[in-house]
A and B are shown apart, each in its own frame.
Chain A
Amino acid sequence: MLFENVLDVLAPAVLDVRHVGMRYESREVMRDIHFALTAGDFVSIVGPSGCGKTTLLRAMAGLTEPTSGSVRFKDREIREPQSEVAIVFQDYNRALLPWRTVRGNIALALEARRIARSEHPARIADLLRRVGLTRHADHYPAQLSGGLQQRVQIARALAQEPQVLLMDEPFGALDAITRQRLQDELLEIWSATSTTMVFITHDLEEAIYLGNRIIVLEANPGRVAADIRVDLARPRHQLTTREDSRFLAIRHQLFGLLSAE
């Protein structure tokens, strides 16, 4: 236990959430949320609805400024969106531009980073290959299923070459089979890069399956209820990992925490 804390101190914090609180007039949405993400970590955030998950993510992305505390990326305070921090939204339907093809949607991130047009084709081809969309490069979002559309969003986020990837219930609207496939693909992408992942979900099993660490929030106001290490072997496997006794133990623990309210 002590050793683990020492490691936490030694490993560089890439994103540092310091005593963050948020209040809208008289309503307190978050209170004193405090944790640090180490580089290359995969952190799941779970909590009941109304615990301020999305508000927390927006604060970490620099889209809203917390009313108290601060969010720091490396050694600077985040007050507005950083190019090193990318977001994947739950609502892929609205997050993709319907008048642009898959290729064009990914290019949007490259245009925003002002990358030379001549470099676009090679970069886009590489991103498409990484998320398995090569066949769909010239299709429009409306022609794609939800799973494929969400892959486009992930590819577009990766085009930013982010150090931190924030995901807000990205697979929440997908069917179970598609969701499992995307979970595995996301883990592959994560292990191939050193990107720090923050994954918000309301699905407890998904949180355990993906994460190295689970931050459990409780509601009214949103605050950290527990911070759990997940010591399951990688690569993870949809069947064996989910049958592992440690997996079940954590599931038990999470269930207890969230149904205690």
Chain B
Amino acid sequence: MIIATIVLAVSVAAGCAGLIALAARDGRAYAIAAPLLFGALLLWCWEVVCLGFGVPRVLLPAPSGIAQAFVANLPTLWADFVQTVIRAVVPGYLIGCGAGYLTAIALDRSAFLRRGFLPLAGLLGAMPIVGIAPIMVMWFGFDWPSKAAVAAVMTFFPMLINTVAGLSTTGALERDLMRSYGASYWQTLLKLRLPAALPYVFIALKLNFTLALIGAIVAEFFGTPIVGMGFRISTEAARLDLDVVWAEIALAALTGSACFAALALLERAVLFWHPSFQKFALSKP
């Protein structure tokens, strides 16, 4: 116990010193090294606390235990990943985001729809997922379609709201410009307003992936074939096999972060012209 406390104190001190030393430097190396070091320090302290203070595995397994469970259950995790992420989250995400985007364009076109539908969409956005999930399971069955439906419902509203907001960012001057060309509604939409709305669309794209993932996992608690990340979490938790639960959590976190990072890179490539990315992509000649 005493040894654990000392080790903990020393490693926290060393880690902080390292972070402070890194903070003095600028640039890319620091931007990558700082979160890595911070993460490593966190995992290390977690490990020391679990082993040193003898925390029961059921309460909180050590990172090394989770890693072992991860490797040992790799085939199961892969099957769960395919069932939940590939079959349910991805199609649900694409359908939800696509429908939200198209609905936003339709709402933008018609003031009548906007007044009538936007408050209703707000209602949809406020629906609790634990309420939607069992209903979707009733409608679409136990397998992945019901999970994809939950993911679609959850991602629809944020995309709708963000795209509507993005479409309204074009100011009077830009519209005057397009009008002075005699541009049609569709020309103005395609050449001016949709590109201008892209920064908002990307915010929704990035947030929505995590939402879709959470939605699909939670939906599996309400009925599922005997595969899937949510199914595994609920059954293994019931059997007190918490290592596997943590391994699934780690898998979900890794999937979410990887997709977020990929979308952020895509955003940077597409929105190179946006002021917030200019220092990366454009330089003065």
| Residues in chain A within 8 A of chain B (CB atoms) | 58, 61, 63, 80-81, 83, 85-87, 89, 91, 94-95, 97-99, 108-109, 111-113, 136, 139-140, 142-143, 160
Chain B: number of interface residues, binned into ranges: 20 to 34
* A140 cross-chain contacts in B, Cβ below 8 A: 273, 282
C-beta contact mask, B241-284 vs A, less than 8 Å → 1, else 0?
Answer: 00000000000000000000000000000000111001000111
User: Looking at the complex, which of B79-87, B90-98, B179-187, B216-224 is the stretch in contact with chain A?
Assistant: B179-187
- Is there an interface contact between B273 and A99, defined as CB atoms closer than 8 Å? yes
Given contacts A58-B176, A61-B180, A140-B273, whether A111 and B191 have CB atoms under 8 Å apart is yes
- Is there an interface contact between B285 and A81, defined as CB atoms closer than 8 Å? no
Could you tell me the distance between the alpha carbons of A97 and B179 in the complex, rounded to whole angstroms?
Answer: 15
* A87 cross-chain contacts in B, Cβ below 8 A: 176-177, 180
Smallest distance from the beta carbon of A173 to chain B beta carbons, Å?
Answer: 13
Could you tell me the distance between the alpha carbons of A160 and B177 in the complex, rounded to whole angstroms?
Answer: 12
C-beta contact mask, B170-207 vs A, less than 8 Å → 1, else 0?
Answer: 01011011111111000100011001000000000000
- Is there an interface contact between A63 and B283, defined as CB atoms closer than 8 Å? no
Partner of A97, one of B192, B282, B284: B192
26 contacts between A and B (CB under 8 A): A58-B176, A61-B180, A63-B180, A80-B182, A81-B179, A81-B181, A83-B182, A85-B180, A87-B180, A89-B173, A89-B176, A95-B177, A97-B192, A98-B274, A99-B195, A99-B273, A109-B181, A111-B187, A111-B191, A112-B178, A112-B181, A112-B182, A112-B183, A113-B181, A140-B273, A143-B283
* B282 cross-chain contacts in A, Cβ below 8 A: 140, 142-143
Could you tell me the distance between the alpha carbons of A160 and B176 in the complex, rounded to whole angstroms?
Answer: 15
| Residues in chain B within 8 A of chain A (CB atoms) | 171, 173-174, 176-183, 187, 191-192, 195, 273-275, 278, 282-285
- Is there an interface contact between B179 and A95, defined as CB atoms closer than 8 Å? no
Smallest distance from the beta carbon of B118 to chain A beta carbons, Å?
Answer: 27
- Is there an interface contact between B174 and A63, defined as CB atoms closer than 8 Å? no
* A142 cross-chain contacts in B, Cβ below 8 A: 273, 275, 278, 282
Could you tell me the distance between the alpha carbons of A106 and B179 in the complex, rounded to whole angstroms?
Answer: 16
Which residue in chain A gives the minimum CB-CB distance to B173?
Answer: A94
* A108 cross-chain contacts in B, Cβ below 8 A: 181, 191
Given contacts A97-B195, A98-B274, A139-B285, whether A63 and B176 have CB atoms under 8 Å apart is yes
Given A87-B177, A94-B174, A111-B191, 8 other A-B residues pairs in contact with their CB atoms under 8 A: A63-B180, A81-B180, A86-B180, A97-B191, A99-B195, A112-B178, A139-B285, A142-B278
Interface centre among B177, B187, B192, B283 (most CB of A within 10 A): B177
Given contacts A111-B191, A143-B285, whether A98 and B176 have CB atoms under 8 Å apart is no
Specify the main secondary structure of chain B where it touches its partner. Answer: helix
- Is there an interface contact between A95 and B173, defined as CB atoms closer than 8 Å? yes
3 shortest A-B CB distances, which residue pairs?
A: A112-B181, A98-B273, A99-B273
* A83 cross-chain contacts in B, Cβ below 8 A: 181-182
* B174 cross-chain contacts in A, Cβ below 8 A: 94-95
Which residue in chain B gives the minimum CB-CB distance to A110?
Answer: B181
* A61 cross-chain contacts in B, Cβ below 8 A: 176, 180
Could you tell me the distance between the alpha carbons of A136 and B179 in the complex, rounded to whole angstroms?
Answer: 27
Could you tell me the distance between the alpha carbons of A241 and B235 in the complex, rounded to whole angstroms?
Answer: 90
Given contacts A94-B171, A95-B174, whether A63 and B179 have CB atoms under 8 Å apart is yes
Smallest distance from the beta carbon of B229 to chain A beta carbons, Å?
Answer: 38
Smallest distance from the beta carbon of B61 to chain A beta carbons, Å?
Answer: 49
Interface centre among B171, B182, B192, B278 (most CB of A within 10 A): B182
- Is there an interface contact between B284 and A81, defined as CB atoms closer than 8 Å? no
Could you tell me the distance between the alpha carbons of A86 and B180 in the complex, rounded to whole angstroms?
Answer: 7
* B176 cross-chain contacts in A, Cβ below 8 A: 58, 61, 63, 87, 89
Could you tell me the distance between the alpha carbons of A143 and B272 in the complex, rounded to whole angstroms?
Answer: 12
* A99 cross-chain contacts in B, Cβ below 8 A: 195, 273
Smallest distance from the beta carbon of A21 to chain B beta carbons, Å?
Answer: 21
Could you tell me the distance between the alpha carbons of A139 and B272 in the complex, rounded to whole angstroms?
Answer: 13
* B177 cross-chain contacts in A, Cβ below 8 A: 87, 89, 95
